[in-house]
Amino acid sequence: MSYFLRKLGFYAIALWAALTLNFAIPRMLPGNPVDILLAKLQQRGGTVSPETREAYALLLGGDDSSPLWKQYFDYLGNLARGDLGVSVSYYPANVSDVISQSLPWTVVLVGLSTIIAAVLGVALGAFVGWKPGTWLDSLVPATTLLAAVPYFWLALILTYLLARVLGWFPLQGGYDVTLTPGWNAEFIGSAIHYGFLPALTIVLASIGGWLMGMRNMMVSTLSEDYILTAEAKGLSPRKIMRSYASRNAVLPSVAGFAISLGFVVSGSVITEQVFSYPGIGSRLLSAVQNNDFALMQGVFLFITLAVLGANLVVDMLYGVIDPRTRARS
Amino acid sequence: MSPTKGTRRRAAAALAGTAALGLLMSACSGSGGDGGSAEADTLIVTSQAGDMQINFNPFSLSRIGGLGTIYEPLFFFNKAQVSDPVPLLGTEQAWNEDGTELAVTLREGVTWSDDEAFTADDVAFTFDMIKNNPSINNSGYDGVVEVVDDTHVVFSFEEPAFVKGPDLLSTPIVPEHLWQDVNPAEDVMENPIGTGAYTFKDFKPQAFTIEANPDYWGGEPEVKEVRTIALSGNQAGADAIAAGTADWITSPIPDIQNTNENFPNYEHYTQWQSQMVLSTCSSAEMGCEGPQTDPAVRHALYYAIDRSQLNSLAFQETAAEMSPTFALTPSQDEFVSDSVSEPVAPMEPDPAQAGQILEAAGWAKGEDGIYAKDGERLTLTVELVSGWTDYITAVDTIASQAAEAGIEIEAAQSSWNEWTEKKGTGEFQLAIDSLWQGPAPDPYYLYTYFFASAAGAPVGETAGNNYSRYSNPVVDEALDAIAQLPTDDAEARQPYFDTIHAEIVRDMPYIPVMTGGTTSIWNITKFSGWPSDEDLYAYPAVWSAFDMAEILKHLEPNG
Amino acid sequence: MTNPNPAAAPAADEAAERLAATSAEDGRPIRSGWRMLLPTMTPWLAVGLSLVVGITLFGLIGPFLVGDPEQIRDQGLTGPSGEFWLGTTQTGQDVLAQLAHATRGSLQIGFLVGVLATLLSAFFGIYGAYKGRFVDEAFSLLSNVFLVIPGLPLIIVISGFVPRESRGLWTIAVVLAVTGWAASARVLRAQTLSVRNRDYVAASQVAGERPWRVIMVEILPNLLPVIASQFVFAVIAAILGEAGLSFIGLGASNSSTLGTMLYYAQNGFALSLGAWWWFIPPGLIIAMFGTGLSIVNFSIDEIINPKLKNLRLHRKRARRAARLERQLTRTASADPEVSDR
């Protein structure tokens, strides 16, 4: 049982660290949202008279002059109540509303493509590791190349070829905006059509890691004694591969899944920007560009929470499926 | 693009199969694809700032739409050319002699889109609300509004307020019966009710739609629906044109001059409003430091710039000539003083003249080809915003041009907020930027924003718009005098403009570069009636709300 | 990568294999000591090394051979020609010259981050594991926390706040290193734990050696391949990370890297204009360099995990046997056209 307690304790600390980091970063460095708002207004051809400046300074409020420790506890208190503050760039919308609008898109896109990449990568990796020396071995350098390619560069080239030149997929967006989002075949079909290219990019760029990891584990596992025993028993190779080798070799990949989730969420920030995808990553970037501190913090917090949560779930699962983990701790 | 949609979609399914992801695609039914551009009377415009959050409050800076289209002002001022205001909710307006009272006649028989009647009380309510809420009072309205009868109101001011007219008359009017209990700074107006040609239809973070108002006082507009789609930036906008999913964007696309050849359904149209300048921290008395505090340096740089080359390399030939008087050329040429010897900045460089100006001011060319004075090399740093690629290219180009004239230019990129802060506090030498226009086609506003000493501040304190810290009592006096005169009394105003022009051309606190073009790409196959050189009834830019509303009313679907 | 002609791949393999096989067959003594730490030269390693060395040389020497990357020319966007091998940008700048300078910038970032991240991970991983108990607990907690906090969003948030003066190459490098060291610290910790329980380590501890000496002399050499492999990973991650940041406009200011080059190409609509010579090469260099490093890493992996190497040797032997057999049958059928390989 102490394994689970330890893990929970660890995640509690990680959560606290993330929250504190989130609190500290904006306070360490300067920036003035009023100026950014005004500059934005000017760029759009709006009239910015001295009165406008005063009006907005008034609207957004001045600096909070209460002591730092008080700000910190207020911040934690507000978080506990689910209050992430007000977004400056979408004023007067709440940060949590802004985020909840975009979150499902990212979760579905990133979640699905990560699962597809993991399943495909592990399956292929098991195969490559099981049958070394076949043409499948050439998958190894191929996926290495894919993993070393900059995400967004690949995304842009794919878009250019598949969407621009061939016209098979839409260039941008999350769905056909003439449809109303909902649980109907038309909308879901459209969302899949629009999400295909972003998903393909994520899958292509992340599949290599899975494949390599699984292949290496498979190779290591194959020289274990129990495989020899199984072979000696005269079991069919297929059965050995499925029931003995893969099952043991896949364990580290399960652990890796959680960690990779973090990387994929990160990478998808840029992918979303490239495809004008309505997810949380594009919100993060626009928040950065607009000095919208509250929104920046909120998005960062949500991403962190998602990754922590996924890790926690995987860790718990891992403890259940691999008894050695519990014994060791 | 190819009309054979069916084949393409089948091909897509085939590809998905080979990519071993067929499970995803098999659910893909027909209707997705090339967007809504198929509907003949729906116009699709773009908002290029990412996903939207619902906000139709016309007083909110984060509003996503509704200004002009749903909420109308009293008059429409066409910034694109010098012309009379277009009557909307108001039909006539007249100042008294000393500019302290403005009488406005309102249109009769107008109703809000919830069928309540529009009256003078709504107008009075709107202005009182603005006055009582400083955070939405961004034009500094401080008058008193009096309802004479249902169709007449009078605004009175303590001091002559001629120049405040355009701001006042462009204020969107809101219905009293719905707004009396609303916090105008914070309510997002999810269901906007106005008098405009359009009414709200639906909202999604990725797109919102407004539809024609059948009861509009000016008659139901021909364009039945207008959808604004959210895109992530310029590249996305250009892609939307390439894919035919947008009908009107106001952002650059590749090879812009050949838009019609590349995309036969589209045409491009450019108008010029934002005057690009190298702003200088010009005033040594206010604490500015660096060679740019010497007017000779500013003039030398002005002559060193090769504007033709700049236009072709950095601006895709969309920029235009600029007047050192800062009156827009050609639309405001009538304001330019006759005494200005060079009404338009030269397009070709003149390094020789730049050299003469510098030498006359005591600068001498050093061995490295760069001028110097009292041991100080003529090196200037230009602040620019990372990501504004056209400006970055422009500064690169200017740097090599200035080197020919013996001036060394260095570029320093920073984020938008740092750049804004540097300008605000005066911690800069040069900054590439553009100056904007006021609410009416009148250069007066630009001078008060950028040349009046009241808008400046000493270095270290945050300045208003006059971050060059230019301070000239002669200009200030002339501006005060213009404020006392009716805006249509050109004859009385001109002497003061002459004074201002002489002063600012001599001092040149902002070095004129070129007038930046705002280019729209629009669908000429689906719609006609777009603004043109012959009929420039509004300033063509998607983001300029009142102009866009005016254009929507002029458009007609073809077919 | 799938080869339409299955015969070609083994053929190429064999050619290289003969080269490698000579040493294996000549019954030379098994390599021992320090040499065990060096990877075996395989054809793949050769390819990887030549990619890495080639691109590094391009980044180091290239900038001296090309013209001024900033030089603006009136000709604007033109394709590759005799004068400009990789064409010019929108403003007539020489793409090849930019590429050379940008490659240098990216390598600089990659190397800096690689060193910084490796130092951090070595400290937290090795020192923590060696000291054990509380220090180990604290250090591994720290690295686990850093591991789960998503890096890129954090970097984006931080870069959004850092003012420009301080957003030079070094800051970006430090930020990338700070967010990227944790995974390798975990790997190093695991390896250290297994090494530190070996008898000779215990012996030197008993002999009264000071801790840093034990770490440097007894433990570190055993970890070198692992450290090398983590360093290589860190370099790849840093170059990719920096490219991503620059691409969204948050990279090091006033510096030229492959990421900023892509950023300008994208903003200049390079792809839409069909200017592949501007857009493709920077990404390709990153991809090639990353691939090269990964391939080098495979070879290092074989040192860390000898099973992987056994696999390769085993495979090679099996194939030789099969070939011999084939040859034998062919000679047996007395075919005169048998090649004299």
Q: State the pLDDT confidence band at A60, using cuts at 50, 70 and 90.
A: low
Report the Cα B60 to chain-centroid distance in Å: 17
Residue positions counted in chain B: 559
Cβ proximity of C168 and C255 under 8 Å: yes
* Mean pLDDT over the full length of chain B: 86
Residue A122: pLDDT above 50?
yes
Express each pLDDT in C17-43 by its tens digit.
443 444 344 444 444 555 555 666 777
In chain C, the residue whose alpha carbon lies closest to the alpha carbon of A32 is C161
Q: Which residue has the higher pLDDT, C199 or C160?
A: C199
Express each pLDDT in A250-309 by its tens digit.
777 776 776 667 666 666 778 888 888 888 888 888 787 776 777 888 888 888 887 788
Contacts of A21 in chain C (CB under 8 A): 149, 154
In this complex, the residue of B255, B400, B413 whose CB is nearest that of residue C164 is: B413
Calpha distance C245→C69 (Å, rounded): 22
Q: Which residues pair with B146 in a beta bridge?
A: B154
Tokens of A10: 């660890």
Cβ proximity of B226 and B24 under 8 Å: no
The whole-number average pLDDT for the span B138-163 is 91
Express each pLDDT in B276-300 by its tens digit.
999 999 999 999 999 999 999 999 9
Residues 6+ apart with CB under 8 A from B93: B74, B75, B85, B102, B103, B104, B105, B165, B169
CA distance to partner chain C, nearest, from residue B38 (Å)? 24
Nearest to B504 by CA among B277, B347, B321, B288: B277
Q: Which domains are delineated in chain A?
A: 102-291 (1.10.3720.10)
What is the 3-class SS of B251-308, one letter each residue? CCCCCHHHHHHHCCCEEEEEEEEEEEEEEECCCCCCCCCCHHHCHHHHHHHHHHCCHH
At the top level of CATH, the class of C41-305 is mainly alpha
The whole-number average pLDDT for the span C237-258 is 81
**DSSP run (H or E) holding B379:** strand B379-385
SS3 of residue B456 by DSSP = coil
* Mean pLDDT over the full length of chain C: 77
For chain B, give the percent of residues with pLDDT over 70: 92
The whole-number average pLDDT for the span A31-47 is 57
Q: Which domains are delineated in chain B?
A: 5-66+194-271+518-557 (3.40.190.10), 75-179 (3.90.76.10), 273-516 (3.10.105.10)
Burial annotation A194-233 (CB, 10 A radius, 16+ → b, else e): bbbbbbbbbbbbbbbbbbbbbbbbbbbbbeeeebeebeee
Cβ proximity of A291 and A91 under 8 Å: no
Size of interface B-C (CB pairs under 8 A): 61
Report the Cα A158 to chain-centroid distance in Å: 21
**DSSP code for B455:** G
Q: Which residue has the higher pLDDT, C171 or B11?
A: C171
Residues 6+ apart with CB under 8 A from C36: C303
Q: State the pLDDT confidence band at B387, using cuts at 50, 70 and 90.
A: low
Contact B438 A53 (CB under 8 A): no
Contact A10 C144 (CB under 8 A): yes
> Beta strands of B429-523 (E only): which ranges?
430-435, 510-523
Contacts of A287 in chain C (CB under 8 A): 160
Residue positions counted in chain C: 341
Domain boundaries, chain C: 41-305
SS3 of residue B542 by DSSP = coil
The angle that helices A251-274 and C151-161 make with each other, rounded to 10 degrees, is 40
**DSSP code for B62:** T
Contacts of A152 in chain C (CB under 8 A): 244, 247, 262
Residues in chain B whose Cβ is within 8 Å of chain C: 234-235, 238-239, 242, 252-255, 309, 312-314, 386-387, 389, 393, 396-397, 399-400, 411-415, 418
The pLDDT value given to residue B296: 94
